[in-house]
């Protein structure tokens, strides 16, 4: 794992200084020769704020001050049809004071993971009977998300469970990698043909996992030869043009001998996902408040340096701290500044695609 360009102790001291000095957020990006705000800084662009309830005034102020480039909705049941549209409108109005929209995301898989309870998919992935069914379910989901002001669906799950006891259960399409590849591709197309960016997850696969990474540190000791077949659904989705790939936080000793969680592994992200499979879109971490990543000092910085673009957390205080960490570490690390610029460029390209496909704009 590449190390931050500043020592941990120095970073913590710098973090305290910058947090005090930058109460209004880091300096916004500007067009050369001008002084007007043109959007979010690179540090903000890669950070998703976390909402489990309607936004507070403080949260909206953080958007206006340029401290996040996107928002993720978590939790089931609270986002009614009327409420979600009101909230996304409110969030984008705050963002457009900076001249650039947010990306707004949630998990709408179908079955037990469905943030908009009233919207498609009406079936769990395991209950979808054909590629036509998967495409139709994703089309319905995309239409509901677009009407609600949501841009990204953190779906579909394309992991291939090796056992009926795998924790994913009905969230996975099946235990066949070829079926999962076909169904995942259909689901991705159903979303993206209707203006919502799809996300295949959880790379490089949790089909061999003995438990949920949200609940504990998971190590997958399988050989590379055993893991490799499970990459087929990801590869198929990438060839179909999927916009995002979510990288999980399990440890794969036979893919990365340093035993970094996947979202912190350049070997997995840059080596397998980008070089081997040819993915050019946005990488997004699984939750950085899960046990394995939450134990890593300067997790936001280390995830970025490893190749993760978009960062998500399970709580807003953690997301706020992640942004502050990047602001603190960037001045002392040319490598981090380069990575942030690269990641922010990919995220801005995604925003542009969304805008041209009926998504938000501030024009």
Task: Kindly tell me if the per-residue pLDDT of 362 is higher than 90.
Answer: yes
The yes-or-no verdict on residue 220 having pLDDT over 80 is: yes
Q: Say whether the peptide bond before residue 202 is cis (omega within 30 degrees of 0).
A: yes
pLDDT in tens, 324-344: 999 999 999 999 999 999 999
In this structure, are residues 19 and 62 in contact, taking their beta carbons and an 8 Å threshold? no
Burial class (CB in 10 A: 0-12, 13-18, 19+), 214: middle
In 3-state terms, the chain is what percent helix, strand and coil (to 5)? 45, 10, 40
Q: Which residues pair with 104 in a beta bridge?
A: 71
Token pair in block for residue 235: 């590869």
Tell me the C-alpha distance between 262 and 269, whole Å.
7
The pLDDT, as a whole number, for residue 77 is: 86
Residue from 146, 79, 156 nearest 110 by CA: 156
Which CA distances in Å does 159 have to 11, 176, 184, 313?
A: 37, 10, 10, 21
Element (H or E) spanning 196, and its range?
none
CA nearest neighbour of 233 among 224, 242, 225: 242
User: Are 101 and 351 contacting, i.e. CB atoms less than 8 angstroms apart?
Assistant: yes
pLDDT in tens, 3-47: 333 333 333 333 333 333 333 333 333 333 322 346 999 999 999
> For strand 113-114 and strand 108-110, is the pairing parallel, antiparallel, or unpaired?
antiparallel
- Distance in angstroms (rounded) separating the CA atoms of residues 148 and 80: 10
Q: Are 292 and 212 in contact (CB under 8 A)?
A: no
pLDDT digits (tens, 9 = 90+) for 166-202: 999 999 999 999 999 999 999 999 999 999 999 999 9
Helix (H) or strand (E) holding 134: helix 131-148
The radius of gyration of the chain from alpha carbons, rounded to an integer in Å, stands at 19
Percent pLDDT > 70 in the chain is 90
Q: What pLDDT was estimated at residue 57? A: 98
**Residues facing 201 on adjacent strands:** 157
Domains of the chain with CATH codes = 110-354 (3.20.20.300)
Predicted structure pTM score: 0.90
> What does the alpha-carbon distance between residue 103 and residue 351 come to, in Å, rounded to a whole number?
7
Question: What CA–CA distance (Å, rounded) separates 117 from 246?
Answer: 23
Q: Tell me the three state secondary structure of residue 301.
A: helix
Indicate the range of 5-19, 221-235, 315-329 predicted with least confidence.
5-19
């Amino acid at each position: 794992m590449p190390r931050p360009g500043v020592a941990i102790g120095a970073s913590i001291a710098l973090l305290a200084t910058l947090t005090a000095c930058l109460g209004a957020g880091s300096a916004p990006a500007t067009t050369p020769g001008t002084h007007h705000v043109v959007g979010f800084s690179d540090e903000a662009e890669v950070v998703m704020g976390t909402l489990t309830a309607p936004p507070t005034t403080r949260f909206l102020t953080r958007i206006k001050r340029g401290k996040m480039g996107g928002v993720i909705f978590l939790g089931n049941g609270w986002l009614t049809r009327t409420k979600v549209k009101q909230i996304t409108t409110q969030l984008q109005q705050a963002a457009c004071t900076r001249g650039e929209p947010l990306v707004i995301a949630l998990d709408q898989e179908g079955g037990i993971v469905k943030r908009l309870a009233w919207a498609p998919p009406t079936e769990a992935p395991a209950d979808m009977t054909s590629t036509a069914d998967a495409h139709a379910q994703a089309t319905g989901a995309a239409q509901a998300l677009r009407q609600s002001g949501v841009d990204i669906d953190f779906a579909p799950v394309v992991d291939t469970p090796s056992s009926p006891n795998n924790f994913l259960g009905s969230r996975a399409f099946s235990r066949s990698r070829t079926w999962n590849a076909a169904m995942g591709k259909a689901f991705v197309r159903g979303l993206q043909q209707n203006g919502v960016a799809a996300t295949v997850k959880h790379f490089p696969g949790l089909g061999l996992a003995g438990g949920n990474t949200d609940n504990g540190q998971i190590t997958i000791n399988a050989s590379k030869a055993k893991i490799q077949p499970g990459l087929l659904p990801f590869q198929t989705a990438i060839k179909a043009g999927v916009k995002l790939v979510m990288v999980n936080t399990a440890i794969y000793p036979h893919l990365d001998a340093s035993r970094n969680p996947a979202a912190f592994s350049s070997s997995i992200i840059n080596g397998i996902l980008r070089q081997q499979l040819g993915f050019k879109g946005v990488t997004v971490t699984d939750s950085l408040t899960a046990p394995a990543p939450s134990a890593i000092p300067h997790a936001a910085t280390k995830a970025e340096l490893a190749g993760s673009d978009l960062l998500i957390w399970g709580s807003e205080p953690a997301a706020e701290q992640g942004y502050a960490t990047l602001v603190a570490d960037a001045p002392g690390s040319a490598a981090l500044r380069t990575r942030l610029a690269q990641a922010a460029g990919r995220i801005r390209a995604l925003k542009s695609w969304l805008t041209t496909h009926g998504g938000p704009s501030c024009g």
